Structure 1
Amino acid sequence: MQFNPRGGLLAGMQTSALQTAIKAAQQAYIDLSTGAKGESYSYTQGDGSKSVTYTKADLPALSALIQSLQVQLGIVPRPRRAIGLRF
């Protein structure tokens, strides 16, 4: 499946805002992983300013955010669900 700019949690964000958000999220992931910086970040989107605080325990959530941004930007395809076989 390809990305759908009209669907999902990030629908309606401009491409430039998504690109800014993914850069910030990726840098936050690197910084948290290495302990290089603080754990609080803010960004602006269509409905106003947002801020978020991450801790090392939130690395999986930050990774999921990065993956969602990648899908919305069409960088990676939407993950497929596992196919189960029944006999």
Structure 2
Amino acid sequence: MSTAALQQALQDAQQAYIDLSTGAKGESFSYTQGDGAKSVTYTRANIGQLQMLIRQLQQQLGIISRARRAIRPIF
């Protein structure tokens, strides 16, 4: 995916998260691609998956770094 496409996907995912969190929009969406019709359903029950998608896109864009383990001294 190009950087522009990743940025657009991130923006769409963030807007979907906001809309879903505030109840501003529906939770089920359908669209048509070359290989047929598709549908996506986001519910409050799987809002965590949407958060993970946003985090993944941010990592791919370099906005946030991967989580690091705690550094523990060895004596």
What TM-score do you get using the length of structure 2 for normalisation?
0.75
Residue 17 of structure 2 is aligned to residue 29 of structure 1: yes
Q: Which residue identity is paired with 1:73?
A: L
Higher helix share: 2
Q: Which has the higher contact order (CA 8 A, sep 6+)?
A: 1
From the CA coordinates, give the structure whose radius of gyration is larger.
Answer: 2
Alignment RMSD (CA, Å) = 2.6
- Map of 1:73 onto structure 2: 61
**Aligned positions, number:** 69
Hey, what does 1:55 align to over in structure 2? 43
In structure 2, relative to structure 1, the CA distance for the partners of 1:15 and 1:40 (3 Å cut) is: farther
> TM-score normalized by structure 1?
0.66
How far apart are the structure 2 equivalents of 1:84 and 1:41?
47
Quote the offset at 1:51 in angstroms.
Answer: 4.8
Q: Which residue of 2 aligns with 1:7?
A: none
Question: Are positions 1:38 and 2:26 aligned together?
Answer: yes
List alignment gaps of at least 5 residues for structure 2.
Answer: 32-36
Unmatched 5+ stretches in structure 1: 1-12, 44-48
